[in-house]
Structure formats: structure tokens, C-alpha cells
Structure 1
């Protein structure tokens, strides 16, 4: 059994919330602990938005329940009518996180059969204490930027491995190893993108979207790379026709890096295009089709590099 940091923070925030509520002699003090449990989020911003949303939701729940209980009475039917209005209104204003916890607080009004000022203050304090401790404990979040950089290094290395493999298998029947490598890399990039989103959500002052956009860019690239691997199976031409392309793939693998903007590679791609244009024309249909696949592969590779080039222009680390 593994006890994580969030579990520890949730438990401590709940304990302190109930202790403080008891110390203030609040009615239904354990509710503060429950609110704290429900308010500890995965990120700083998630906890802040959840807390503010629940405070706003409390005001709405109080107003609706007051009308229902005053008109129908303090009973289950009135509570049900309250839910019929409160739930859709919460959904409309994107406050669904507050439905359960605020409905619990509304039952306090029903049991006390009162909306006196002290009781209203009591419910507000319960909510504020639970949300407050949750926010306080979520101010500390482990900095995962080091892990994101390690993820980037692993991704770059995987791309280099796949590109080198493509160069070796060019004009030879490929094995499934490259396709499997692309699939594994795609899964790893998705996981890294989730970590990047969490990292961004834990930044108060700066909307640091670099890592999230980086993983998104690499995710697009690996999908394109997977399509290029499938194209390899149909390329069967004279060896002299793939020499320049093999050199290009090996050069890309050797220089593939986060900071490489792809400018030099795009220049080399244009040179390979010029070489192909200077070659003699295909002599038969089969040769034409093979040349077409080779040309399609080169076009896809150019698009693959252009994705990184555009990313380098649009994003400043």
C-alpha cells in the first residue's frame, strides 16, 4: 500500500478543519472536514477554482433552499424541489462540483428549521474553513519540471532511434519493431503531456505553456512518423535512388534535438529533391509506382520537419 502526498495533505487538512470548527463551537463541525476532503485538488489552480466555485454555489443553494423551505416547509419534498432547481442552475454556471457538498449544508437548514444570521454564518464558516485548509495545503506542489526535461530527453532519444532504424530499413523489408517503437513513444508522449498540463496548472503568475505545446508537437510528429514507417514497406527501388535519403535520415537522427529548429534539415531536403529531379524517368509502371512511394515518403518527411520548424518560430522557451 502506497500513501501519496495528496492523501497525506487531504487527511491533515480534514483533521485541522474539524478541529478548528470544533474550537469555534460551530454546528455540524465534521462537515468542515468533509469539505476539505472534497476540495484538495491535483493542482493549485484546480483547488482555487473549486473553492471559489463552492462558495458561490453556497450562496445560490442558500437562496433556492430558503424559498423552497419557506413555501413548502422544512421537509423532504421541499428538499427535492430545491434539487430540481439547484442542479440545473449549477450545471448552467459550471458549478457542479458544489452540488453535493452544498446540498449537505442545506440539510443543516432543514434540520435546524431556521435561516437565522448565526446559522448562515455557521455554514459560511464551515465552507470557508474546509476550502481554506485545502487551499493552504495545496500551496505546496512538487516541482515536476525536472521530470518533464527527463521526459524530453527520452523522447528525443526515441526519435533518434526510430529515424536511424528507418535509414537502415530503407529499401529493405521493414520489421514490426519500428511500428511498435512508434506506438510506445506515442503512449509515453501522452503521459508527458498530462504531466505538462499539471505543471502549467501549478503556475500562479505565468501561463507557461511551453512544455504542453512541446509534447503536443512531438505527438503530431510521432503519428506522422508512424505513417512513414508504413510507407517503407512499399519502397523497392535501385539502391542508388535511396542513398541521399538514407544520408538525410541519418543526419536528422544525429542532430535531432529539442533546440534544433530544422532549418538545416529542410535545406538538405531541398537538395535531395533536386537530386531526384535530375534522375532519369521511370521506364515502367512498377518503377513509377515505387518512385511515387519514395517521393511521398520524402514529402511526409519534409512535413515532419516543418512541424518542428513552425513550433520553433511560434514558441519561445
Structure 2
């Protein structure tokens, strides 16, 4: 059984409902309880989604008011006319791309139908309910939790996983140690998924921000992880440990000791060029296994250059 808990959004919804009903009641509005329904429908997971929810519902409600005035006042307050109105309303909302506002507009529509007389005072009443319901929803939804500390924790976890992964590669290249179980690969992938989702929420909760450095950072790390996963089988299944293994191990150890969110990729690509030159000046393979080992290491070097190129395009968090 899932543990009982009250989430932040649930708390905001409860507060919003209480405020909407209270304000509507003391404002002397009819159908004041409906303001709570409008508030509930507009409290979303992010600020941008909440704004969009209010937009769709306002547009949908004005559309339904116009239709109600034309059909009810022009023909009759009859169930058949109500059905015809709904028949026309839904396609119109879909065409205007505000179909999400149907339920809210239906609330206002039923008020008009129940009263049976589209008067100025009724219009003012419904506009008041809308203003309070949507206004309270926006007010409570502007208060979002700050996820910066958790996002930074995810960043540090991913970087630590990468350090371990590279350190294990170094251990294999230097002494053939293949005892590592690869747990950090799984942990890094899981952490990146959670981190990207949280970073995306941060973008959605900043109304003037179109991108997020953290999201870009985690996306970059995710693409690097794909390279690591692709290259690991090639470098950890060498038939023999050759002279070039130590050269590559030194470079990877240096890289492992300096994993951070800043951008020093260009420096390490220059170091990798030096490794390539030294690699090329070493003795040629004398047997098939040595040839395969050297070929595997050279492929690994090329993959690491792509790994660094991905980071080089990221301006860094520091």
C-alpha cells in the first residue's frame, strides 16, 4: 500500500479552494462555490502550464457566453437548445485550440441555463466568479518549490559516477582488473533521467526563461553516457595489455580527476592529440592479439574525442 502523503500541489489546491470560495461568498456572488471548481481546474504542475490553463478557460468561457446569448436569448432556454449549443461548442473550442477549457466553460454555461435569463447582472456575476477562480489559481501557483539544491545534488552524483567509471577503465588498462560490476552506469542513467525532468520543471516555472543551463548540462552528460556505454565493451575486452594501454590510462586518469561542470574540453582535446602522436610513434604490433588490442585502444581514443567534443559545445555552469 502506498504511503499516505500530502503533496505540495495538493496543499496549494486546498488553499486555493478555500480562498476562492471565501472571496466569492463575501463578494456576494451567486454560485460562489463554482469559483472553487475554476481554481481546481487551473492549478497545474508549473507556472507556464497554469497560465496556459487560464488562457484556454477564459477564451472557452467567452465563446460559450456568446453562444448562450445567441441561442438561449434568440430561441429558448430548452434542453434541446442546450444540446445544440454543446454540439456547436466543442468543435469551436477544438478549432481555437482551447478544448481544455470545455469543463470550465460548461460550469458558466449551466449557470446561465439555470437562471434562464441572460441579464447584465448575471454577466457581471459570472465574470466575478471567473476573475476570482482564475486569479486565485494563478496566485497560489506562482509559489513553486526551489529545486536548485536537488538539481545540484544530481549534478554531483552524475559527476561522481563518471569518475568511478573512468577510474575502473584505468584499473583495467593498467592491470587487467575486470571485477567492476558497472553499477555506476545504471545509477548515472537513472540520475540523469530524474535530473532532466526536474531541470525541465525549472524552465516551466520561470515565465521569461526559454532554456535552462542545467537541462542543457544534463542533456550533454546523457549524450556522453551513450558514448561511454558504446565504448566500454571495446576497451574492457582487450586480448592483451599492451604498451599503449598505460599511455591511454594516464590520460583517462587525468580526465577522471577533473570531471566538473566547467568547460575545459578544449584543453583535454589538445592533450588527446598528444596521446595520438605518442601512440603513433610506438612500435607496431607483432602478433594478431597485439594488433587487436592497439586497434581497440585507438577506437577508444577516437570515441573519447567525440565525448570531449560534446562537452566543448557546452559553455559550462561555472
TM norm structure 1: 0.89
- Is 1:39–2:42 an aligned residue pair? yes
The answer for unaligned runs of 5 or more in structure 2 is none
- Whole-Å separation in 2 of the counterparts to 1:56 and 1:267: 58
- For the 8 Å contact 1:173–1:233, the answer to whether it is kept is no
Q: Which residue of 1 aligns with 2:257?
A: 254
Q: Are the structure 2 counterparts of residues 261 and 88 from structure 1 closer, same or farther at C-alpha, using a change threshold of 3 Å?
A: farther
Q: Which residue of 2 aligns with 1:116?
A: 119
Q: Are the structure 2 counterparts of residues 19 and 271 from structure 1 closer, same or farther at C-alpha, using a change threshold of 3 Å?
A: same
- Whole-Å separation in 2 of the counterparts to 1:79 and 1:205: 41
- For the 8 Å contact 2:242–2:290, the answer to whether it is kept is no
- Whole-Å separation in 2 of the counterparts to 1:183 and 1:142: 28
- Whole-Å separation in 2 of the counterparts to 1:31 and 1:259: 52
- Is 1:153–2:180 an aligned residue pair? no
- For the 8 Å contact 1:32–1:126, the answer to whether it is kept is yes
CA distances 1:52-79 after superposition (whole Å, capped 9, x unpaired): 3311221122223444545764344434
Q: Are the structure 2 counterparts of residues 280 and 79 from structure 1 closer, same or farther at C-alpha, using a change threshold of 3 Å?
A: farther
Size of the aligned set, in residue pairs, is: 314
1:101 to 99, 104, 122: 104
Taking only aligned residues, the RMSD between alpha carbons, in angstroms, comes to 2.4
Question: Once the 2 structures are TM-superposed, how far is the Cα of residue 31 of structure 1 from its aligned partner?
Answer: 0.8
- Is 1:50–2:53 an aligned residue pair? yes
Question: Once the 2 structures are TM-superposed, how far is the Cα of residue 252 of structure 1 from its aligned partner?
Answer: 0.5
Q: Are the structure 2 counterparts of residues 79 and 189 from structure 1 closer, same or farther at C-alpha, using a change threshold of 3 Å?
A: farther
Structure 1 stretch 260-269 or stretch 66-75: which is displaced more?
66-75
Q: Which residue of 2 aligns with 1:297?
A: 300
The answer for unaligned runs of 5 or more in structure 1 is none
- Whole-Å separation in 1 of the counterparts to 2:188 and 2:141: 32
Q: Are the structure 2 counterparts of residues 268 and 109 from structure 1 closer, same or farther at C-alpha, using a change threshold of 3 Å?
A: same
TM norm structure 2: 0.88
Please state whether the residue corresponding to 1:238 is helix, strand or coil: coil
- For the 8 Å contact 1:58–1:98, the answer to whether it is kept is yes
- Whole-Å separation in 2 of the counterparts to 1:248 and 1:77: 79
Alignment of 1:1-317 (within 5 A): 1-69=4-72, 73-170=76-173, 172=176, 174=178, 177-178=181-182, 180-207=183-210, 209-283=212-286, 286-312=289-315
- Whole-Å separation in 1 of the counterparts to 2:40 and 2:155: 34
Q: Are the structure 2 counterparts of residues 173 and 316 from structure 1 closer, same or farther at C-alpha, using a change threshold of 3 Å?
A: closer
